[in-house]
Amino acid sequence: MSIYDDLAPIYDELFPQNPAATAFLLGLTGQKSSAQWLPRRILDIGCATASQLLDLAAAGWEAFGLEPSAAMRERAKAKAERAGLPLEISEGSMLDAPSRFPKGYFGLLLCIGNTLPYLGNEEELREFLGGAASLLAPGGSIVLQTLNYERALSLLRSEGFAFPALRAGGSVFRRHYEETEGGRLSFITDVFQDGKETAREASALTPFRPEALVEALRESGFEEPRARSGWGPEASSFSAASDGYLILASRLSC
C-alpha cells in the first residue's frame, strides 16, 4: 500500500485547494478565440482527491482523472457525490492515458503537484508528452507543475534540502530528498502519529530541470511554454535561480 493511501483521509487538509489555480486555469482556457470550439473536457493525471478537477467541474467542465492510489480515488468519488458533480476517475499511471481516451478528446490536460518526476527518465518524459499531445485537440492546453529542481539540487548539494513539516488531524507529514546513483533522487516520506512513525516510503524521482521540460514540450508539438513561479497574478515570471516551484503552460500547435 502506498503512503498516499495512508494520507488520503487528511490529504485535503495537508494540501488545500488553491482558488488561484482554478482562476488561472479558467483564464488560460478562455484567452483565445479557438477556446469556443475546444472540447470542455479536462484530464488531470495524478489527480489525488480531485480537488482541482471538481473546481473545474463546478465551472462546467467534463472532469476526468487518473490516480494510482485506491484510497485517493475513493475519497475523490465521495467528494464528487457530496457536491453533486460528475467525475470520471480511474486507476492509472502517467503513461496509461493514451490507451484510455480517444485522440483529441480534451481541451485541457493537467499534471500538477510535482507528479511529473515520478517518470523514470527523459525518454519517458517525451513518451508522456507525446501521449498528452495526442489526447489534446489542436489549440488545447497542457499545464505542468513541478518543484524547481535547478534550485532544489543546488540547495541539496550545498546545505541540504527538506520540505517544511505539514500537520493535520494529529498527524505530521515529513518529506526530504537524498541523491542516488544515475542522477535520480530518493524522495523519503514519513507520517508520524503521536510522535511515532506510522508510515514511511522511499520513491525514486527524476529531477527534471526547467530547460529540459521546455525543450521536451517543444519537441512534442507544443508552442513556446509560459513559465511561472506560482498560480496568482503576482507570480507572472519564473527564475530558475530563486523560485521554489515551476508552472509551465503551453498550447498544442494547430
Q: Is 175 within 8 Å of 163 (Cβ atoms)?
A: yes
Q: 201 and 212: one domain? A: no
> Residues 13-40: what's their mean pLDDT?
82
Mean pLDDT, the chain, as a whole number?
92
pLDDT for 41 equals 96
DSSP category for residue 241:
T
* The predicted structure's pLDDT at residue 237: 86
Examine the domain organization and report whether 81 and 69 are in the same domain: yes
- pLDDT of amino acid 203: 93
3-state secondary structure of 174: strand
Residues 137 and 72 in one domain: yes
CATH code of residue 58:
3.40.50.150
Q: Based on the domain organization, do 104 and 56 belong to the same domain?
A: yes
**pLDDT-derived band of residue 195, with 50, 70 and 90 as boundaries?**
confident
Q: Is residue 111 within 8 Å of residue 43, measured between CB atoms?
A: no
Residue 222 shares a structural domain with residue 194: no
Let me know whether 129 and 227 are in one domain.
yes
Do residues 106 and 135 share a domain? yes
Counting the structural domains of the chain, the total is: 2
Higher pLDDT, 194 or 31: 194
Task: Tell me the average pLDDT across 187-204.
Answer: 90
Hey, which residues does 185 pair with through a beta bridge? 179, 205
Please state whether beta strands 171-179 and 185-193 pair in parallel, antiparallel, or not at all (unpaired): antiparallel
Q: Residue 243 in contact with residue 236, Cβ under 8 Å?
A: no
The full DSSP string for 90-145 is E---TTTGGGTS-TT-EEEEEE-SS-GGGS-SHHHHHHHHHHHHHHEEEEEEEEEE
pLDDT, mean of residues 6-20: 94
85, with CB counted inside 10 A (0-12, 13-18, 19+), is middle
What are the pLDDT digits (tens) for 145-186? 999 999 999 998 888 778 899 999 889 999 999 999 888 999
Q: What is the pTM of this model?
A: 0.94
Element (DSSP H or E) covering residue 17: none
| Overall average pLDDT of the 58-80 stretch | 96
Reported as a single tens digit per residue, the pLDDT across 77-104 is 999 999 999 999 999 999 999 999 999 9
State how far the Cα of 90 lies from the Cα of 95, in Å rounded to an integer: 14
State the DSSP H helix or E strand holding residue 251, giving kind and residue range, or none if neither: strand 245-251
490516480: which residue's cell?
Answer: 67
**More confident of the two residues 249 and 2:** 249
- 93, 184: one domain: no
What band does 1 get if pLDDT is binned at 50, 70 and 90?
low
Domain carrying residue 98: 3-148+208-251
Q: What percent of the chain has pLDDT over 90?
A: 81
